[in-house]
């Protein structure tokens, strides 16, 4: 289904804590007419905050190279880039110079995304480092540790069990070698909050370090490196309402300083000479620049800093309280449907951010998501959400290969083929979530009103109907 028009829906008051782009975009319905698009896939990529867009637009005419030019706009852009570093450091509660008893402050390295940040850290692990991850992690946190010995821990059934599982695993490890724990702050599948502070304490008690994957946590809750006492935090701008290709790895400087530059090139090198024997000699920077080779993404970084400021000013307490209401609207609105089962590790009432995944008896997830889009103008995600071990476990066995969508699907009691995920945030008006609840109820009760078929692995409305 393609977006057909963009119009101003002046007759529709949109109530959301912070305005985002796309709030007036309409999409066609397969059953006729148009509707304002309900973007309920924030966990994949959140829309840009209006404020972020405005800040980017205000800066764009002044755009210039960073760390590279003598001209006025280059200097302005360099200042903006370094201001953004300070803003992000503050947003993430980074430890100041000499803080944390470590003798040096935290470093903010700008990357492309959480995936990029965790791969950067993986490339900076000291020799012999062991890595501990739960099998529940997003692939971005599960897979980068290719040069380390990785212990993949069983999915816990409570936050307490998570800490106990980690403690047991760390107690069994070689006590003197370097070790890293990588853990998510909020699951991209269940939205559940993980006991980060307790896991950090367990890691440190056993001489290990910890990196927090805050891709899903940072858009919903305050994240403080200092207060959580984690060694690093990684996040993505596009999930934090700043979709301009930037990400962050913030935290301890020592492993990063000792590692080879993540990318080799201009900006990472302080001095390059050609030796008499024809080889090249390089002296690398040892600050954040060591891992930021190439021309920096100043627009992306400026956008990220703008989002950090907007979220801080709006106040996470206010934002989280509103999000709780939306979660309740979904849970209460579907509570009496036995066909709908929410996925959860820690139990239905566990604290979570605005990310909920579910299966519907009798439906393949891709068929259900396609009907939500085509018949109600609601954008969600379906599948295994780049967390295959977790979702397979929660679905109760490996999902079979995808069948033909819309064909007689699974029946109640049968295993689902994939889940559906609904997620929201600061730009979500009540109406989007209410429409979602109504749509799920109608689809479960009456079935789809249209036929669907699978094209290139995706379920789509059947145009020939
Ligand atoms: N970690 C979690 C928990 C995520 O949900 C995601 C993306 O969905 C990532 C990491 C990877 O983020 P990115 O694709 O921005 O690198």
Pocket residue to mutate for ligand 1, from 214, 215, 423, most atoms within 8 A of Cβ: 215
Number of the ligand 1 atom closest to the C-alpha atom of 238: 15
- Write the CATH number for 166: 3.40.640.10
- Give the neighbor-by-neighbor strand order of the sheet with 5-6: 5-6, 25-28, 34-36
**Is the same domain home to 401 and 277?**
no
How far apart are the C-alpha atoms of 7 and 425, rounded to whole Å?
A: 23
Pocket residue to mutate for ligand 1, from 121, 386, 423, most atoms within 8 A of Cβ: 386
Residue 433, classified by CB atoms within 10 Å of its CB into exposed (0-12), middle (13-18) or buried (19+), is buried
The two structure tokens encoding residue 254? 């020592």
Domain that holds residue 133: 52-312
Number of the ligand 1 atom closest to the C-alpha atom of 114: 16
What pLDDT is stored for residue 156 in this prediction?
A: 98
**Is the same domain home to 245 and 371?**
no
Full DSSP string of 263-316? S-STTTEEEEEE-TTS-EEEEE--SGGGG--SS--HHHHHHHHHHHHHHHHH-H
Active site residues: 386
> Ligand 1: residues whose CB is within 6 Å?
113-115, 138, 140-141, 184, 188, 213, 215-216, 236, 238, 386
**Is the same domain home to 287 and 404?**
no
Ligand 1: residue whose CA is nearest its atom 12: 114
Helix (H, G, I), strand (E, B), or coil: what is residue 192? strand
- Write the CATH number for 43: 3.90.1150.10
What pLDDT is stored for residue 35 in this prediction?
A: 98
Q: For the chain, give the number of residues.
A: 465
**Is the same domain home to 149 and 132?**
yes
How many angstroms does the Cα of residue 453 sit away from the middle of ligand 1?
29
Ligand 1: residue whose CA is nearest its atom 8: 44
Residues 155, 135: contact at Cβ < 8 Å? yes
How far apart are the C-alpha atoms of 331 and 258, rounded to whole Å?
A: 48
How far apart are the C-alpha atoms of 226 and 234, rounded to whole Å?
A: 14
**Is the same domain home to 94 and 7?**
no
Beta bridge mates, 6: 25
**Is the same domain home to 335 and 303?**
no
Total domain count for the chain? 2
Using the Cα atoms of residue 228, residue 234, residue 238 and residue 243 in order, give the sign of their dihedral: positive
**Is the same domain home to 282 and 214?**
yes
| CA dist 387 → 62, 91, 111, 345, 365 (Å) | 41, 28, 22, 13, 15
**Is the same domain home to 153 and 270?**
yes
How many angstroms does the Cα of residue 435 sit away from the middle of ligand 1?
27
From 293, 312, 331, the end of a domain falls on: 312
Report which of 156, 215, 124, 235 is spatially closest to residue 423, judged by C-alpha positions: 215
Neighbours of 101 (CB within 10 A): 6
How far apart are the C-alpha atoms of 130 and 153, rounded to whole Å?
A: 13
From 258, 277, 312, the end of a domain falls on: 312
Ligand 1: residue whose CA is nearest its atom 7: 44
Neighbours of 117 (CB within 10 A): 31
Q: Are strands 381-383 and 280-284 parallel, antiparallel or unpaired?
A: unpaired
CA 45 to chain centre: 8
**Is the same domain home to 36 and 115?**
no
**Is the same domain home to 406 and 448?**
yes
**Is the same domain home to 190 and 264?**
yes
Q: Are strands 179-184 and 149-153 parallel, antiparallel or unpaired?
A: unpaired
Question: Per-residue confidence of the chain (465 residues) as pLDDT tens digits?
Answer: 333 333 334 444 457 889 999 999 999 999 999 999 999 999 999 999 999 999 999 999 999 999 988 899 999 999 999 999 999 999 999 998 765 556 689 999 999 999 999 999 999 999 999 999 999 999 999 999 999 999 999 999 999 999 999 999 999 887 789 999 999 999 999 999 999 999 999 999 999 999 999 999 999 999 999 999 999 999 999 999 999 999 999 999 999 999 999 999 999 999 999 999 999 999 999 999 999 999 999 999 999 999 999 999 999 999 999 999 999 999 999 999 999 999 999 999 999 999 999 999 999 999 999 999 999 999 999 999 999 999 999 998 644 444 455 443 443 444 446 899 999 999 999 999 999 999 999 999 999 999 999 888 889 999 887
**Is the same domain home to 350 and 431?**
yes
From 279, 295, 312, the end of a domain falls on: 312
């Amino acid at each position: 289904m393609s977006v057909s028009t963009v119009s101003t829906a002046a007759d529709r008051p949109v109530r959301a804590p912070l305005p985002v782009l796309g709030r007036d975009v309409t999409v066609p319905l397969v059953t006729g007419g148009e509707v304002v698009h309900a973007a309920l896939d924030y966990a994949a990529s959140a829309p840009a905050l209006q404020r972020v867009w405005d800040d980017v637009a205000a800066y764009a005419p002044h755009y210039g190279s960073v760390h590279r030019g003598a001209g006025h706009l280059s200097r302005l852009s360099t200042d903006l880039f370094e201001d953004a570093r300070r803003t992000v450091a503050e947003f993430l509660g980074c430890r100041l110079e000499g803080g944390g008893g470590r003798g040096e402050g935290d470093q903010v390295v700008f990357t492309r995304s959480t995936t990029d940040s965790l791969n950067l850290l993986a490339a900076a692990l000291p020799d012999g480092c062991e890595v501990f991850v739960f099998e529940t992690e997003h692939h971005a946190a599960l897979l980068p540790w290719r040069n380390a010995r990785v212990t993949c821990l069983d999915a816990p059934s409570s936050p307490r069990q998570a800490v106990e599982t980690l403690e047991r695993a760390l107690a069994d490890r070689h006590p003197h070698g370097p070790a890293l724990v990588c853990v998510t702050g909020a699951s991209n599948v269940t939205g559940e909050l993980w006991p980060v502070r307790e896991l950090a304490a367990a890691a440190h008690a056993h001489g290990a370090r910890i990196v927090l994957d805050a891709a899903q946590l940072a858009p919903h809750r305050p994240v403080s490196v200092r207060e959580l006492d984690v060694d690093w935090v990684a996040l993505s701008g596009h999930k934090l309402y700043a979709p301009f290709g930037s990400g962050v790895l913030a935290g301890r400087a020592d492993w990063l300083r000792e590692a080879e530059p993540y990318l080799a090139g201009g900006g990472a090198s302080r001095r390059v000479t050609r030796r008499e024997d024809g080889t090249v000699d390089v002296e690398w920077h040892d600050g954040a620049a060591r891992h930021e080779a190439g021309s920096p993404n100043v627009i992306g970084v400026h956008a990220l800093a703008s989002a950090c400021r907007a979220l801080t000013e709006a106040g996470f307490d206010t934002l989280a309280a509103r999000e709780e209401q939306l979660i309740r609207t979904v849970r209460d609105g579907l509570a009496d449907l036995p066909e709908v089962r929410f996925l959860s590790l820690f139990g239905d009432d566990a604290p979570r951010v605005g990310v909920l995944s579910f299966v519907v008896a009798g439906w393949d997830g891709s068929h259900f998501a396609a009907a939500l889009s085509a018949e109600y103008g609601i954008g969600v995600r379906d599948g295994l959400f780049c967390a295959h071990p977790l979702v397979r476990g929660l679905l109760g066995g490996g999902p079979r290969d995808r069948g033909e969508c819309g064909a007689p699907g699974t029946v109640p009691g049968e295993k689902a083929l994939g889940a559906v995920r609904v997620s929201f945030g600061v730009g979500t008006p009540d109406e989007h979530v209410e429409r979602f609840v109504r749509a799920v109820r109608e689809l479960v009760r009456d079935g789809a009103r249209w036929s669907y078929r699978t094209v290139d692995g995706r379920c789509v409305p059947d145009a020939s109907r």
